[in-house]
Chain A
């Protein structure tokens, strides 16, 4: 357990994909994030909102992808602002005179990959539409809603977590075979 116990607890909830918590987090951070960038970067409110949204998407990716995990080195708010600082810099903004408490959060280059990722998303969506309901439901719970296997088993009336995990791999293999047929 690190120095930021409440934030670490919140991080765990967010990483499970709880939509209500995500909405609350979005609402809690929005005002102070936008005001911070309006005050220190001098960006227009609309631009501040764009930076906020882009930062929030990267933050979401890092949380659900488990790249950000306890123990935390800072509050989640500071981490989010750190992403914002990088996003703003990528847009050509200067952050030299900003508060040093805001860390430099590494943000992976993604613009070049974006088109490729979109293609992969289209392909997966197409395969999900064809794979049949039981596999579709299971894969959506695991990979789109972030359910842990125990919750998947409960939701789908599968007798055990192990059985649900096995079924997940069966479905993934089936999906891969379908993908090969597509090629």
Chain B
């Protein structure tokens, strides 16, 4: 019985594809020469495949259930993407044709625009000034007296505006603060290998590169910027192949720009650096830099920073 279990364990490893390569070669040979074993393996393959399919069907059913929660808001998400200009040109054109024919949809888009405009209005400086003045009034001792209806209405309106302001502020901080934007745009590269070989010079560059990225991910932006600068100097003096040079240089300039934004002390320099990347059609990060600059012009970014 013990031997049976060992064999079954081996068959299961084989069928589920987790067998070591050397063991698999030997087992393949064993199967080829043993018809009874071959049949047994096929039987268990059928059984385990049946189990996987049942599990997959159950997952598919779950997905369908989860999807139902979303359907009601899908249209709003789509409208938001349309209003923000985040659709493919073909889809944008189709949407515009649809809007001409579908008054209900057009009304929803118009409503969404109005809401967005409302948010824009909220961030105007006058509103910020009002928030501050209300804030200053807070510590004054409250006088107990009855308010006339007009003051009650003003107070209610002020409360609503304050809540909207808090909501707007939360949304902006959550999604458009320097660190939130950078987290969206940063992608940690693989720093385990050296491009184009492993000579002393190349491994020194790879080390600088890895250190700068590690410091960046640990939030040590000043150190990361310093190391990216060192890296750029090292690249200039190096004899790297063009492809490797471009890779390190473009990544270093891009990530250094992100570090400058995260650091928040020299935004003009960060923007100038991004503009240079966005203007270079051969730069791998051209599109990302363009998108990031666009985000940095949004009202939410300006509010949050």
Q: Which residues of A contact B (CB under 8 A)?
A: 3-4, 19, 22-23, 26-27, 30-31, 34-35, 38-45, 49, 53, 56-57, 60-61, 64-67, 73, 75, 99-101, 117-118, 120-125, 127, 139, 143-144, 146, 165-166, 169, 172-173, 175-176, 179-180
Contacts and interface: CB of A to CB of B under 8 A. Distances in A.
A65 B16 contact: yes
A23 B66 contact: yes
Contacts of B18: 66
A146 B51 CA distance: 11
B88 A60 contact: no
B77 A41 contact: no
Contact of A34 (B5, B43, B77, B89): B77
Contact of B74 (A45, A75, A180): A45
B56 interface: yes
Contacts of A27: 66, 70
B200 interface: no
A123 B88 contact: no
Contact of B44 (A30, A123, A144, A176): A176
Contact of B90 (A23, A42, A56, A101): A42
Contacts of A75: 187
Contacts, number: 127
B8 A172 contact: yes
Given A42-B90, A180-B43, A101 B187 contact: yes
Interface residues of B, number: 48
A123 B45 CA distance: 13
A180 B47 CA distance: 11
Nearest to A32: B184
Name the prevailing secondary structure of the A interface residues.
Answer: helix
A39 B87 contact: yes
Nearest to A27: B66
B191 to A, nearest CB: 7
B59 A169 contact: no
A64 B51 CA distance: 12
A52 B183 CA distance: 24
Nearest to A35: B81
Given A57-B60, A57-B63, A143 B44 contact: no
B8 A125 contact: no
Contacts of B16: 65-66
A82 to B, nearest CB: 14
Contacts of B87: 38-39, 42
Contacts of B139: none
B51 A144 contact: yes
